[in-house]
Amino acid sequence: MPTVTGIEVESIVFPPYFKPPGATNTLFLGGAGVRCVEMEGKIVKVTVIGVYLEDKAIPSLAVKWKGKSAEELKGSLEFYRDIANGSFEKCLQVTTILSLTGEQYSQKAAENSISFSKDGIIPEAANVVLEIEKLGQALTDMTIGKHGVSPEAKQNLASRLSDLMN
């Protein structure tokens, strides 16, 4: 298991390691960041996102990405797709920091749909375990892909994984 630290984002603490409900392995925190949306002409922070990966993600990604700087990784859509499509377990922990009204939520729901928690606590039992590989890849890509909802999480993930691979 790689040695990583936890990350605090907007007063929500993402632990360095955890075993998600329904998972077979303990995962490490690859990165975390805030998600902002535009509402009524203002940029508003609505969720924080932690990206957790199975330890075999490091050697799997290192085959292609070892030796690349964090800046090179940050600018590579292919890098994030390799994470989303990688044959290792991954988990997105999404915590709401600003609740949206029904109307606001319905406007944003078309953009994304991920499981949320209000208090940042990972439940003991799984609400949903995605064993549909393509859906899991799509959700991960939606978070860190080309139009990912958290540029901060993408940057943090690139920095931390670059350090772990090099």
The pLDDT value recorded for residue 113 is 42
The pLDDT value recorded for residue 112 is 46
The pLDDT value recorded for residue 146 is 73
Asked if 90 and 136 touch (Cβ cutoff 8 Å), the reply is yes
The pLDDT value recorded for residue 103 is 65
Long-range pairs for 71-80 at CB < 8 Å and ≥24 separation?
73/158, 73/159, 73/161, 73/162, 74/154, 74/155, 74/158, 74/159, 77/145, 77/146, 79/158, 80/141, 80/144, 80/145, 80/146, 80/148, 80/154, 80/157
Residues 6 or more apart whose Cβ sits within 8 Å of residue 110: none
Helices 77-85 and 151-165 sit at what angle, rounded to 10 degrees? Answer: 80
First to last CA, the chain: 15
- Give the whole-angstrom CA distance, residue 8 versus residue 14: 6
Q: pTM for the whole thing?
A: 0.79
Q: Would you write out the chain's pLDDT as a tens digit for each of its 166 residues?
A: 899 999 999 999 999 998 888 778 999 999 999 988 877 888 889 889 999 999 999 999 999 999 999 999 999 999 999 998 899 988 888 888 887 666 665 555 445 444 445 555 555 665 555 555 565 666 676 677 776 778 889 999 999 999 999 9
Cross-strand partners of 79: none
The pLDDT value recorded for residue 51 is 93
Asked if 92 and 139 touch (Cβ cutoff 8 Å), the reply is yes
